[in-house]
Amino acid sequence: MTKNSAAVTARHTELVSISDGIATVEIAPAAGGALASYRWWRDGSAVDWLRPADPAAIGRRDAGAMACFPLVPYSNRVRDGRFEFAGRTVELPTSSDDPHHEHGHGWRRPWTIVRHEQGTIVLRYRHAADSWPWSYEAEQKISLADGRLCMTIAVRNLSDKPMPVGFGLHPYFPSTPWTHVQARVSGMWETDAEVLPTRQVVPPAGADPSTGIDVSEVDFDTVFTGWARHARISWPEHGRQLDIEADAPLDFLVLYTPPGEPFFCAEPVSNITDAFNRMGDKDINTGCIALAPGQTRSASVRFTPSLTV
């Protein structure tokens, strides 16, 4: 076997795909249940609506370099990986690279395929209690119809005590010089040097998603509050746009726009950063859900692309 054919074989075994004749989605179950690509095919050419993973990222099962990965059992950071809930102190593993145990477990672990059809796949991750002292099950249903992508994520508490929960999706989008985002919000969280929230403010003029932002003009790693659960991304120089519509309780939008990078993130999530450590403040909507034993919460996110020229 040649080196090139070995690489193709390795890529094939890491990925599974679904298609509806217009769009194709590649999924890497072993890489945190992440999407590796979501693309249309037009006249033999690919139109990538999410940032596609390269073969090296697929080979090393790097969910953070994929097109989209699931956020369970919470979004973003927990300060120092430590919080208290119902009289219990929880201490999550941290490191110099991950001092606040970011984004929970789902993106770090392999997922199992439980159903795979032409246009739909269902993945499942089951977590046994460890430093996170609750057992739970997470499920993703990923489906295509008429070129649209729908992702439903669910979390079920398998333990015998209430469990704090947050969840969402972490999609990466191509960033171009003219990429524009519009999303109606009412507030945002300012952060400290460790990207942990300090105070809630009104978005400043010129950097307010409600009136629209050019991705190349802002530097966000920010949770926006009061999100109307709809966002529109446009790439006017390519004549493309993408509408994102989310269900409750995905009431927060995280925008991550690192300067100079060919990607940005617009993440529909159910909780603010460090939500578990702010549950005692009744004046803050943290989005934290106390999931009763046996209870499930779920939400869908729909991605609807269109060509404007």
Summarize pLDDT for 71-103 with one digit per residue, the tens. Answer: 999 999 999 999 999 999 999 999 999 999 999
Average per-residue pLDDT in the chain?
A: 94
How much is the pLDDT for 13?
A: 60
pTM comes to 0.94
- Out of 12-16, 37-41, 191-195, 249-253, least confident range: 12-16
The residues pairing with 126 across neighbouring beta strands, listed in sequence order, are: 137
Provide the pLDDT for residue 99.
Answer: 97
Q: Are 89 and 81 in contact (CB under 8 A)?
A: no
The whole-number pLDDT of residue 5 equals 39
- Structure-block tokens of residue 42: 């037009």
Does residue 142 carry a pLDDT above 50? yes
Looking at residue 45, what is its pLDDT?
87
- Given a cut of 80, whether residue 21 has pLDDT beyond it is yes
Third-level CATH fold of 3-307: Beta-galactosidase; Chain A, domain 5 (2.70.98)
What is the rounded average pLDDT of the residues 121-130? 98
Average pLDDT of span 171-195: 97
